[in-house]
Every structure is written in structure tokens, then in C-alpha cells.
Amino acid sequence: MKRALITGITGQDGPYLAAHLISLGYQVFGLVRGHDNPKLRGVREIVPDIEFVGGDLLDHVSLIRAVEQAAPDELYNLAAISAVPISWQQSELVSQINGLGVWRLLEALRITGRTRTRFFQASSAEVFGDVDRCPQDESTPIRPRNPYGIAKLYAHEVVRNYRDHFGMFAVNGILYPHESLRRSEEFVTRKITRAAARIKLGMQKELGIGNLQAQRDWGYAPDYVRAYHLMLQHDMPEDFVIGSGVMHTIEDVLRIAFSRVGLDWCEYVKVDPRFYRKPEQFPMRSDAGKAREKLGWEPRVTVEQMIQMMVDYDLNDLAGEGSAPVPGGLVESIA
């Protein structure tokens, strides 16, 4: 039985990855900071067979102990402060967790003699930053433009250096935005689906939104965690861009979400300049051709299907018909 250690187990991707690995016969450990973490109950409801180990990406000694306890064949680092705007407000903390935290994990593997453990780093398309081409692939120049991207770039390069210098099987998944039923409302997709449900139920009157024509390459989180696993089963340690390659606007998401509840989004959405962001010169769109060719990976769920699932869940949750973070049927769909 293979053993896997997952950091960021209480985030969006962690439980999906844990469920996927357990379905493949893995023994899965989740790294948690403090066993009184209020999110642990929700994770246990989704993935009852998971085991938790204590550890903190800010504390090197705790990571060494966690690695010794879990003795993982594979380590997936999904932990990060993931909201880009927060990185401008708490840039030092973001650098410590998103950047140096990855170095601490790799050092923990080296110090404990587990250099044969395969390591996955959840990198980000934000490392590309101010892109000069569309779409982007593994050869796209890297030049981040915010503290989040800078911290992710540090981690990205640490992974490559440990791979080259120590011969470790360490890889970066360069991830484009991906959503799910577990997405929080600080992200625009969930803000929209939650608002559509609330408006339908008479709990909200309107929704303020920024640039309706802003575009994103969105995907479905359970699809993406399959790619994480495939990257660690590959013959050689290589970095891969993971994305849908399909662009959608904010207006597209509004149309899909409000149509799902039988409403015309135009009647409820107000454009609010406070939410505008500086537009990119070139769209951030992925070219995941390498992952398709070498890993046999393809996304299975479309953005329209994903948004509809999110709206359905929000309707049930707000109406008091469900309170679990993820309905059971969705977890099985990624196995």
C-alpha cells in the first residue's frame, strides 16, 4: 500500500485528492496545524479514512516529525495562502508559507533520508505574470507581477533545484484557476453562484460585479487533482501546465448561474467599478498539450456543468437541505 502525505488538506483541492488516492488503494495522511482545527470535521465527513498528522509550514522541526510519522512515498504540497489580493497586504507571511514553506518540506525529506519520496508542488500560472503570448505552456517566460506570484516562483525554482542537485523526483504543476463546490466566496465564481441562489430564494436583491468581459481559463478541481497524481506516476520528473485551455468571461458565468435558477442575470447584476482589475495585455490561457500527450490527462467536466453543480449545491445549502461541504456523489465522480 502506497502512502501519501497531503498538505493543505482543509483547502479546496486536498479532500478531492485524498478521496482520489484512497480510491486507488493509498493510505493517506493530511498535514494539519493543530488538531482542534474546525475544518477537520468537514474533511472527515468527505474522506473518513484519512489520518491526520500535525505540522506547520512555518515550523521546520514539525515538518521533519510529520515526514517521519507519515513516511510517505508521495508528498503533495497544496498548502498556500491562495488569494492574490491578500498577498499585497501580508506579503511577508505569503512569502514564508508559499515560498519558504516549500523549501522546508523538501529539506524535511532530505534530512530524514526520504529523497526517493516523490514530491508534487502546486505551482501557479501566476508565475507567468505579465505574459507576452497566448496561450502559455511550459516554455513561457516567467515574470510574476504580485507577491503571490513571486512566492510561488521561489517555490517553483526550489523544486527544480532540488530535482537537479539532489536527484529528487520533484515536480511543479503550473495550475490555472480551478473551482468546485468547496470554493470559498472570496473567489468570483462562488460569489456569483451563491448570489444567484440567494436572489432566487429572496435572500439578496442584487449583485455587484466588476468587468463583465474579464476572462479566465477555469477548470474543475477534481479533474485537476487527477493530474497531480499522474505527474508523480510519470517516468521522469517534469513540470506540467494544467488547465482547460478554454476561456470564459464573467458574463458567461453570470448567464450560466442565473439561468440555472430561471432568472435573467441582467436584471440583478450591477457593475461596480470598485471590483475592476487592471486588464492583462494577453489573456491567461493554458496550453496543456504536454499533459495530454505525456500523461494522458484530459479535463472531463465543463465550466457550464461545474457552475450548474455549484448553483445546485448553494440552493440546497441555503434552503437548509444540506450542510456538508461536498455532497457524497461528487467525491465518487473523481475516482
**How far is the CA of 180 from the CAs of 45, 70, 177, 219, in angstroms?**
17, 28, 11, 9
**How far is the CA of 10 from the CAs of 46, 65, 80, 92, in angstroms?**
11, 20, 11, 22
Positive/negative CA dihedral, 18, 57, 288, 326: positive
Active site residue 124: yes
HEC profile of the chain = CCEEEEECCCCCHHHHHHHHHHHCCCEEEEEECCCCCCCHHHHHHHCCCCEEEECECCEHHHHHHHHHHHCCCEEEECCCCCCHHHHHHCHHHHHHHHHHHHHHHHHHHHHCCCCCCEEEEEEEHHHCECCCCCCECCCCCCECCCHHHHHHHHHHHHHHHHHHHHCCCEEEEEECCEECCCCCCCCHHHHHHHHHHHHHCCCCCCEEECCCCCEECCEEHHHHHHHHHHHHHCCCCCCEEECCCCCEEHHHHHHHHHHHCCCCHHHCEEECHHHCCCCCCCCCCECCHHHHHHHCCCCCCCHHHHHHHHHHHHHHHHCCCCCCCCCHHHHHCCC
Active site residue 126: yes
Identify the active-site residue in 16, 126, 176, 313. 126
How far is Cα 208 from Cα 274, in angstroms, rounded to an integer? 9
Active site residue 148: yes
Active-site residue numbers? 124, 126, 148
